[in-house]
Structure 1
Amino acid sequence: MRMFVFGALIISTVGCGAHSRQPAPSATQTSASPTASVDDAELRRVQARAYAIVASEYAAIAATDALLGAKDVVVDPARMQMNLTVSHEGAWYGLFGKLDETGNFIPAVAWKAPLETPQWMERVPVESLPTDFSGPARAGVTARRIAEESFGRETVNPVVLREDSGELTVYTLQGTHEQDRLYFGGDLRIRFSSDGRSILQQEKLHTGVITVELVREGEKRTTGSVHSHVLFQGPLETELATMMLYPFLDLLTVFHAERDDLYLLRPDGSIRISSQKTRRTRVLQPDGTFSATPETEE
């Protein structure tokens, strides 16, 4: 995840997939609301949401690369206080601008790319933008502030997804990688009204920030991490998305003290469900299908 001189907001419509330097899986439309139990539908929801987050992040990287590579653009902190990466009507828009005192988003420069190929960003006039992006910008800025106040870290990346209803869901990610550390947790899921002014629902996904030390000594390196859940019984979309964005951590295992299942998250988007009772394993494959195998790994 790439931070620039201003805050980065990544905004996407659910159902859009894209890739930057490497292919990204398509983000399948799915409900944003988790179920109480960790059934197959919930695991598929988590996977689809993770794909949406990853697709948005790849597009955000492409938009930032386009700005950094533009020799005719002067970065003006007064006019470029945030980066919004937006999917709209079959295209990605990389927008750099600010919110004015009334909460309206004022774009300073803009890029556009086909939805499936965000690396093909081309400069477009801000006057040609097809819609007003103030609602997602307001939601992203508010979510960032809440995450900073809740967890005490300023390196927050909000990802905004537009629901079929028009409402906005914002996920906050913690940074997420600096030097030899990878951060899980410190994340929120906040539902906003379509104009981004009203919070409809707010949830902490973890109670705090979880730091994974990435040890690299010769041929030895960190290959996996384990942590327990308190607030949710199963894996979360922000965890799976982080694994996919930073594949040098090969495995994340999560569990809840009151459940017998372990959930093993892989960078390819798969989720392995290991039952401690039956010693059997089921795998949610990257394509959204399930397979069952004997418990022979991990």
Structure 2
Amino acid sequence: MPFAPSLRRAATAVAAIAVVASLAACSPSTSTDAGTESSDGTLQTVTEGKLTIATGEPNYEPWFVDDDPSNGEGFEGAVANAVAEQLGFSADDIVWVRTTFDGAIAPGPKDWDINLQQFSITDDRKKAVDFSSPYYTTTQAVVAEGDSPAASATTIDELKKVTVGVASGTTSYTVAKAQLGEGNLSVFNSVDDVVLALKGGQIDAMITDLPGAFYVVGAQLDDGVVTGQFAESDGGDEFGIVLPKGSALTTAVTAAVDALREDGTLDELQQKWLSDAVDVPVLK
């Protein structure tokens, strides 16, 4: 039987406090591999007194800013710093390293404690690495060429007046159908086909998940804009922090993420970096 929301919040807060207290009680006496414990049960990190956080290279906005994860800017940069603080580490205690996306989720030992690179939580990946609880669930967004009538659309009603492309069998299609109906939808076999249709002027706009929208605008279109995002996130991919398989830090990091969700910090960071900073308002 599920806990009532108030009980669930209380349990999360207690867990987070307990984790932070255990981390602060005794600093590591020796450096050990990520995910191991000292003889007295104190959680250990790769480097004594430091939290080693990995991410990709290069980094892109709005996840990180200026390809500099240490500045704490961008959504994932800010989330990483907030999690570190929950665990008792200051920004000066963070050591940033770079990894490939595929290498981070491959089986085997790691030289970092946690990794953030927009990793979707999947059962297959869980066979090789650990995940924290999700810190972000993707929403669906609208992409248009700069000279399209859809580029200035700020409401769902306005989008119903233009032709919108979407890939079949995707969460994007489910959301588009529910929000816009089927009268103005053009359905394609893949996201790549939708992008080609947009570039060729066959459609006025396309709908894809927000991380994909940033990629389409940044890498595939010459004059693309992300005009807005839907509030609905049901069925979206959940992003989690990756840890080495069997890491003893997994419980602590999950408790930290849960605490940030419960106190509203994750929502605030999402609004700041995935809406306001990139001018992607929620469509009404």
TM range (shorter): under 0.3
**Structure (1/2) with the larger helix percentage:** 2
TM-score, scaled relative to structure 1? 0.24
Whichever of the two has the greater Rg, that structure is: 2
**Structure (1/2) with the larger strand percentage:** 1
